[in-house]
């Protein structure tokens, strides 16, 4: 079966690999479509087991598109609504975000001002039934579709709340939910304003502009634009965001593709908000596409200091096209280039990290470019920051505590015992409260394998293969014993990181996204470095050759 599916994918691939004259190309297309149709018919009729035609064709489509690039995707009818939500930031619902922990569906975030908050739902509530449908009997994806619907329609939730004996029934009427592109902005130092931009859906530039204007009115003498984890979105919104800090009438980005209509130069069209205010843009490996246009353009014009990690490395433009039966396909049609001529796309997809972002870039594929003030920048994969800040990955202990839901569940317990807490920026778990958390965790199944343990296990496996295990066994067992002993104190060793995650989870129950952002600043090395840069005009000017 696998061989047949692979062959099916190759047949699809042939449709895009012909460089023959038009008449020959059309013949090849028709021939291969005919081959595919007859092959599909024969496999469906004769294969030893019953085959699912939808699954078989979907596998073939995905195999064909995967041979091109990671961003050309097929979107079947039942996924179109999710795709539309990603591109518009709007949907019909109640404004609640859920997560699956074990076999439970729990509310992890709510958007202030929408039905979920107004109707009495709380973060930490477990949803048992949705319109009489038991969530334990359906998938998380099906539950998400059930939660959403036409604006004005009703939905009933049966929830289980910590500290309340009987289930609670809550009724809501769906509204048009608009997820803000700027979930938070505010002053993070005496004269430093901060804007978090999480998406590039419609109105992203208006939201950033309003935030910048408001912060300047509050006394901001420098601005931080946080694009960390922003996957991108609408290219025109990226152009307009650059226009906030760049003059009217300059080229921000250009796109080039096979079809002449896709060769477009995008220029700033509006009067800027501020051409002089010092600006720092934060990026990391999760900053992609439109985020990289903003960071790359502002870097090319020496308008901002770029700080953080190398960005994701996605320099391709996609457009959606309608297909039969209400399906769609998202097709890569062009590459984009920053003002200096850089394309940050990496074509070698095999050397990306597990999260898809760019790893190390060989010097052989890098090409140097010069910014407006003569600084050297490179293409070849992502935007390199002007200032690199080392970030620490979550420790295995913290990852397990989060993934298992222990941090979330303890946040629920804490919130039930504390009707109010101080403002998010002033909230801090006391030493005694963290001790209570450790005692609670130790009553649970809390086990994990650290990277060193995984390597040790691999060593033992190799030793058995090479027949050296008995000789090395005492040392391996001794190391494992010491690792086991060390893990017992991980809740203390990694206290700062675990405590920070716990504080973020707790404040979300009182102050939603705003609270999470404000409490996270305390353990954010990039924020502290940014404030230092903006408070040191000489350093800022030196970095940008001003």
Query: Which residues are part of the catalytic machinery?
Result: 289, 300, 314
Element (H, E) at 108: strand 104-110
Contact 402/392 with Cβ under 8 angstroms? no
Whole-angstrom distance, CA of residue 263 vs CA of residue 340: 16
Beta pairing, strands 73-75 & 90-93 = unpaired
Indicate the DSSP class of residue 33: H
Question: Which residue bears the tokens 């504390």?
Answer: 418
CA 510 and chain centroid, separation: 24
The phi, psi pair for 128, rounded to 5°, reads -90, -50
Give the CA distances from residue 162 to residues 30, 69, 168, 311, in Å, rounded to whole numbers and listed in that order. 62, 46, 11, 41
**DSSP percent split of the chain into helix, strand, coil, nearest 5:** 45, 20, 35
Q: Rounded distance, CA 306 to CA 109, Å? A: 30
Angle at 57 between CA 51 and CA 58, to 5 degrees: 110
Specify the long-range contacts of residues 444-449, CB closer than 8 Å, at least 24 apart.
444/404, 444/406, 445/404, 446/400, 446/401, 446/404, 446/406, 447/400, 448/396, 448/397, 448/399, 448/400, 448/487, 449/396
Q: Is 169 exposed, middle or buried (0-12, 13-18, 19+ CB in 10 A)?
A: exposed
Number of Cβ within 10 Å of residue 351's Cβ equals 12
Instruction: Catalogue the E-assigned strands of 179-293.
Output: 184-189, 192-196, 222-226, 251-257, 264-267, 279-283
How is residue 488 written in tokens?
A: 């017992």
Go through the chain and tell me how many residues it has: 546
């Amino acid at each position: 079966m696998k061989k047949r599916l692979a062959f099916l994918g190759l047949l699809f691939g042939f449709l895009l690999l012909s460089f023959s004259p038009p008449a020959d190309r059309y013949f090849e297309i028709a021939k291969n479509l005919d081959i595919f149709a007859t092959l599909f018919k024969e496999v469906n009729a004769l294969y030893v087991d019953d085959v699912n035609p939808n699954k078989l064709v979907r596998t073939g489509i995905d195999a064909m598109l995967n041979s091109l690039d990671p961003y050309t995707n097929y979107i079947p009818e039942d996924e179109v609504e999710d795709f539309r939500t990603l591109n518009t930031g709007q949907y019909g619902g109640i404004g609640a975000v859920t997560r699956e922990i074990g076999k439970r569906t729990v509310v992890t975030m709510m958007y202030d001002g929408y039905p979920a908050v107004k109707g009495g739902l709380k973060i930490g509530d477990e949803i048992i039934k949705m319109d009489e449908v038991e969530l334990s009997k359906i998938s998380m994806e099906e539950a998400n579709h059930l939660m959403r619907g036409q604006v004005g329609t009703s939905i009933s939730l049966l929830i289980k709340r910590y500290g309340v004996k009987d289930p609670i029934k809550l009724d809501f009427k769906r509204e048009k939910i608009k997820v803000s592109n700027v979930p938070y902005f505010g002053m993070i130092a005496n004269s430093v304003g901060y804007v978090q931009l999480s998406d590039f859906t419609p109105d992203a530039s208006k939201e950033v502009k309003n935030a910048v204007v408001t912060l300047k009115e509050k006394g901001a003498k420098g601005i931080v634009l946080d694009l960390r984890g922003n996957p991108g979105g609408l290219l025109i919104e990226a152009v307009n965001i650059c226009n906030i800090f760049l003059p009217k009438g300059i080229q921000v980005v250009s796109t080039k593709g096979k079809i002449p209509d896709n060769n477009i130069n995008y220029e700033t069209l509006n009067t800027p908000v501020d051409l002089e205010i010092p600006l720092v843009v934060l990026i990391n490996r999760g900053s992609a596409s439109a985020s990289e246009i903003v960071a790359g353009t502002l870097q090319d014009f020496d308008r901002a200091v770029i700080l953080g990690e190398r960005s994701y490395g996605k320099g391709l433009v996609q457009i959606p096209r309608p297909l039969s039966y209400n399906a769609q396909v998202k097709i890569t049609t062009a590459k984009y280039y920053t003002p200096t001529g850089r394309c940050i796309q990496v074509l070698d997809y095999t050397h990306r990290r597990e999260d898809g972002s760019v790893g190390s870039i060989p010097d052989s594929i890098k090409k140097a470019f010069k910014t407006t003030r003569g600084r050297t920048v490179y293409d070849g994969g992502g935007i390199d920051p002007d200032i690199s800040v080392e970030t620490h990955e979550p420790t295995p202990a913290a990852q397990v505590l989060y993934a298992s839901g222990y941090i979330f569940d303890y946040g629920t317990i804490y919130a039930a015992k504390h009707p109010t807490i101080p403002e998010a920026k002033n909230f801090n778990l006391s030493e005694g409260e963290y001790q209570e958390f450790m005692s609670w965790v130790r009553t649970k199944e809390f086990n994990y394998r650290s990277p060193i343990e995984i390597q040790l296990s691999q060593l033992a496996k190799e030793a058995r293969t090479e027949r050296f295990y008995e000789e090395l066994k005492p040392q391996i067992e001794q190391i494992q014993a010491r690792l086991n002993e060390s893990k017992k104190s991980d809740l203390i060793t990694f206290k700062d990181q675990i405590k920070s995650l716990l504080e973020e989870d707790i404040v979300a129950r009182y102050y939603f996204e705003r609270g999470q952002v404000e409490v996270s600043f305390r353990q954010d090395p990039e924020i502290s470095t940014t404030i230092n840069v903006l408070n040191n005009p000489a350093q800022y000017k030196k970095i940008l050759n001003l």
